[in-house]
Amino acid sequence: MHTIKYIEMEITQPTKVPRAESASDSDSDSDSYYEWLSCQERPLSYTLAPGSWKATAWSMPIPITSWENWQRQCMIRSEDIHLHADNTVHYKLLHKLMSSGDN
């Protein structure tokens, strides 16, 4: 039996996320206006939320009878893959996949 196969990719780019203020940094009734102002002038610190991806394989038998005949074959998410940090070949391939949307 012949089929059409399609790979759907969903890619989420890495993003900067502002760090939450600690309890000592938050506004309190005892803070003076100058202390508050100095906190406002400080640059925000950020953490980097890593990007992720999800690949879904779909197939449809030929001859095509309806668009509703697409069947999901399998799905994998980047979170499902556990690679050792010293495996640079796999890391480079995954990084290339993650950054391919930048072109």
- pLDDT by residue (tens digit) across 7-40? 998 988 778 888 765 545 554 555 688 877 777 7
Residue 22 lies in a domain: no
**Could you tell me if residue 92 is inside a domain?**
yes
Q: Is residue 29 part of a domain?
A: no
58, part of any domain: yes
Specify if 40 maps to a domain. Answer: no
Q: What SS3 state is found at 40?
A: helix
3 Rama sector, left if φ>0, alpha if ψ -120 to 50, beta otherwise: beta
Quick one: pLDDT band at residue 57, thresholds 50, 70, 90? Answer: very high
pLDDT at position 19 is 77
Domain that holds residue 89: 3-17+46-102
Q: Count the Cβ atoms, other than its own, within 10 Å of residue 61.
A: 13
Summarised one tens digit per residue, pLDDT across range 66-102 is 889 999 999 999 888 876 666 677 667 767 766 665 5
Q: Is the previous residue joined to 63 through a cis bond, with omega within 30 degrees of 0? A: yes
Q: Let me know if residue 93 belongs to a domain.
A: yes
Banded model confidence at residue 56, pLDDT cuts 50, 70, 90: very high
Q: What global pTM score does this model have?
A: 0.56
Whether 30 is covered by a domain: the verdict is no
**80 found inside a domain:** yes
What local confidence, expressed as pLDDT, does residue 23 receive? 46
Number of domains making up the chain: 1
